Amino acid sequence: MREESVVARRLREARQRAGLSQALLGLRAGIDASVASTRINQYERGKHRPGLGTVERIASCLSIPAPYFYAESDQLAAWILAYTTVGPALRDAVLHEAKAESHPPAK
């Protein structure tokens, strides 16, 4: 049994969350109508892996950042999605706090 790829799993989750069929997502991502559903299905099953350009088009259609599809950790994937939903002030505050935590002042 082949282990499911993170790209395949995240693609299926994101598409389902958006309420789109495989065919509709494929069409919106610029895949030819005659193979749109089949191609997305193959990506979601891990039979084929979409190239970066395809991932970027799919991400754009789903209004999520492309790095989401590559995040191995579910927590990181959630952070990536959350990043898109908060304003710049909160993004800056979290980044500032993270930098402070990773580089504490010298004593």
- 69-98 pLDDT, tens per residue? 999 999 999 999 999 899 999 999 988 998
- 41-77 pLDDT, tens per residue? 999 999 999 999 999 999 999 999 999 999 999 999 9
Task: Look at residue 18 and give its three-state secondary structure.
Answer: helix
The model's pTM? 0.83
Whole-angstrom Cα distance, residue 107 to residue 80?
A: 33
The CATH code belonging to domain 6-102 is: 1.10.260.40
Q: Count of residues for the chain?
A: 107
As a whole number of angstroms, the longest Cα–Cα distance in the chain is 65
pLDDT of residue 2: 52
71 to each of 6, 14, 32, 43, 88, how far by Cα in Å?
A: 7, 13, 28, 16, 22
The answer to whether 65 and 52 have CB atoms below 8 angstroms apart is no
Using pLDDT thresholds of 50, 70 and 90, give the confidence band for residue 105.
Answer: low
- 5-55 pLDDT, tens per residue? 999 999 999 999 999 999 999 999 999 999 999 999 999 999 999 999 999
Residue scoring higher pLDDT (28 or 3)? 28
| DSSP 8-state class, residue 16 | H
- The domain segmentation of the chain, as residue ranges, is 6-102
